[in-house]
Structure 1
Amino acid sequence: MGTDPLAQSEPKKRPPGQVPVTQSSMSLLVYEFIETDVANALIVVRPLNKSLVFVSLAGSKMKLINEANRFVSQANSSLKKKGVQFILKDRTILEPEGSEWLEQLTSDFTQLLTCGTIQNEIKCEYLTGTEFQKKVWEITKTLKPGVKVSYHQLATLVGNPKAARAVGSALGKNNIAVVIPCHRIVGSDGKLTGFRWGVELKKTLLRLEEAIV
């Protein structure tokens, strides 16, 4: 006897609460908490584009989740006129099948945080920020491990040497810590200042990078 064609077309069952990553889930963001000896971290990714959209450091899981929720609220507020609204969920909402990219991204980020370098480039997506801020973040992302530049030098790279203060403001709004390495920006006298997650962590990240150069 032949197989039942209706049985063949029956959709694959998934555990309760899990969703497929499809066009219908374009507003979905998922987070993952990472514990390391350097610092705890929480990353938020957008499954639709397989991109990293948020990273925060140095806090309890609940504190970092609260920071991620505030970020999502800000993104929703700025994108409301475009009709885009995001919802944040734990990564367990995703099907394991087809989530290999997230495993790789998490592994790459953990290596970057703990070792100071990675082989693969991590794709970032900016859900907030002005065009100028995004340009500052993109250029900062190109700085190599072990390289430290001043705010004035970064402003020059951005194309406006007189915009050091605006560059500092843009870095203060960087929502993708470590991958957008604002810890590599120092004062004109070399002093380590202006790091949202603390000067001691900034020192640690720079020491890790200097050790591999």
Structure 2
Amino acid sequence: MSAPTAGSRIAGRWLGPAGKIGFVVAALALAQVIGDQFQNPIEEVAEPRLHTVAVGEGAHMRALAIQVEDVRLGTALVDDDTTLPTGGLWVVTDVTYTPTVKDAGLPMAQIVDDAGRTYRQTRLGSSSCGSSMPDVPLSCSVALEVPVEALEGARLRLGANEDPRYDDLLDVDLGLSAADGEAAVAAAETVELRMPDLPLPPIPSLGGGDR
């Protein structure tokens, strides 16, 4: 019987159990490299649709029409009788929105800085925005804590769902700079949430007439 050739010895290694494992590992590594280069189509579809505006500009999203009307900065936030100090700054945004399809609010609020870092609500009482009915506007405030250095180029994002996938998000350029942050720290002002403001329904007339 002739001795096995070098080629047959290599083939034997690949056909053995260890060879099969090695082949699977190599295939998975190749798939990972390919996957890193191409975005998952499901993830791409799930990305929220951004409605990019500036302060004072309105947007019509899937669940509501909305506008951020003002931005205020402070080193402490007053909620009812409670004062909440911060080591950074409170960014308070005054918002008015009107649900268009069904009852809706603003459970998702975050600030994204220039470096891509995200700051979400961390304390109870830092929002006065509740739910409103279709065609009934609600004016309120959302407050978020951020480090002073995060103000430069900061963007506010608001959504009608806690999970923004497959949904619309308001993306607001707050127009803030590092100088705004330094001035706010020096002023050390206390800011307040705007209490929810719902329009009162018309009072029906009692009518009158001769008896």
TM range (shorter): under 0.3
- Greater Rg by CA: 2
Higher strand share: 2
Higher relative contact order (CA 8 A, sep 6+): 2
